[in-house]
Structure 1
């Protein structure tokens, strides 16, 4: 049987890049995941239930929460720090010079090597392909759709299956800013005022019927 040819290796490399960065983003705290109205990443550390802290980080988190800090603010800080770390690692793999590593004449480490991410195909035709452009592609795959930016305020409502502009519009409306809610909807969709208002009211009715979906 003739060996199947790789019709477009560039497509496969692009798929491998997307797959890797999607997995990377899955390691960042999920800002839309809540347990009993509380960010799930905090709940999973036991930081709101009291008792003996599992580690020093959990102990510190309990003290921060005891000061009355908004848990959503903590989520934003943690997510931004995680993003910055991942972006730095991607730069390190793409080109250490982007971080200034190896540019200093006093740099004591050997410079006769570099890092590289290589995708290994396990199915036929087998092969290896170096993956480039990690740092420049990271934000494009941000599952929030904000290209790595923080949420800002108000925090978008949790409306599964609805786009970011809808979640933001509902959040503005629930905060009492109807004008900003309508403007947010119109900017994203181009809809006239009456259509935007009707769509937002429909979602608000949905939230009233199921308060847990947007808390």
Structure 2
């Protein structure tokens, strides 16, 4: 073993991969964050308005026109989040292996085909130690903060109940839309609870939602 080789006994390269992928997810819109009743990312874009409610940028103006047409802000969030996810996933594939995207496979291209990209982690406590980080695209969805593994949230939009798992938020959303059977089934599938236990748990959360609706907006 040479001086530059490191067996990585503490698994820090894996921790570096997780840190990098988590940072990527932090750049994707937070589907739960809300400001003044709107998804926070929309409020942030619209905050740049000037006097007389004139948008400060072309993108903000376009967003305002879309909302003026009556589009559900949650639908916008779903579209933006999915597009951001797809972009991040493709970037991870590009770093892992351009061939996954069909790049570098055309023999007639004039560009050199012997160029590849790579992510290298540097251990700050051991400056001379570096480790290549791979498997980004295959690990990305495991760190989806929503817990859905990169899948869209679908409908109904989960109720905003900070600190509660996805199945609870979905069950409350179904119950609030009038579909109590689906609400109970959602709870039972995730927890294995009986019908009565699921019903009692959902009713408790519904009461919490009604008593403090403002907390569900943040």
TM-score range, shorter chain: over 0.9
Q: In the alignment, is the contact (CA less than 8 A) between 1:47 and 1:61 conserved in 2?
A: no
Gaps of 5+ in 2: 1-5
Distance in 1, Cα, partners of 2:34 & 2:91: 28
Shift of 1:126: 4.3
Length-normalised TM-score, structure 1: 0.93
Q: In the alignment, is the contact (CA less than 8 A) between 2:45 and 2:60 conserved in 1?
A: yes
Length-normalised TM-score, structure 2: 0.91
Q: 2:94 pairs with 92, 95, 98, which one?
A: 92
Is the counterpart of residue 109 in structure 1 residue 111 in structure 2? yes
Q: In the alignment, is the contact (CA less than 8 A) between 2:168 and 2:202 conserved in 1?
A: yes
Q: 1:29: which partner in 2?
A: 29
Q: 1:82: which partner in 2?
A: 84
Distance in 2, Cα, partners of 1:141 & 1:96: 22
Query: Which runs of at least 4 in structure 1 moved beyond 6 Å after TM superposition?
Result: 47-50
Q: 1:3: which partner in 2?
A: none
Q: CA-to-partner distance for each residue in 1:16-42, whole Å, 9 max, x for gaps?
A: 000000000000000000001110000
Q: CA-to-partner distance for each residue in 1:139-198, whole Å, 9 max, x for gaps?
A: 000000000111101100111111000000000001110000000000000111000000
Higher relative contact order (CA 8 A, sep 6+): 2
Alignment of 1:130-141 (within 5 A): 130-141=132-143
Question: Could you say what the CA RMSD is over the residues aligned between the two structures, in angstroms?
Answer: 1.9
Q: In the alignment, is the contact (CA less than 8 A) between 1:158 and 1:214 conserved in 2?
A: yes
Is the counterpart of residue 142 in structure 1 residue 135 in structure 2? no
Q: How many residue pairs are counted as aligned between the two chains?
A: 211
Which deviates more, 71-80 or 111-120?
111-120
Is the counterpart of residue 70 in structure 1 residue 72 in structure 2? yes
1:93 is paired with a residue of what secondary structure? helix
1:155 is paired with a residue of what secondary structure? coil
Shift of 1:9: 4.3
Alignment of 1:1-215 (within 5 A): 8-9=8-9, 11-46=11-46, 51-124=53-126, 126-214=128-216
1:181 is paired with a residue of what secondary structure? helix
Shift of 1:54: 2.3
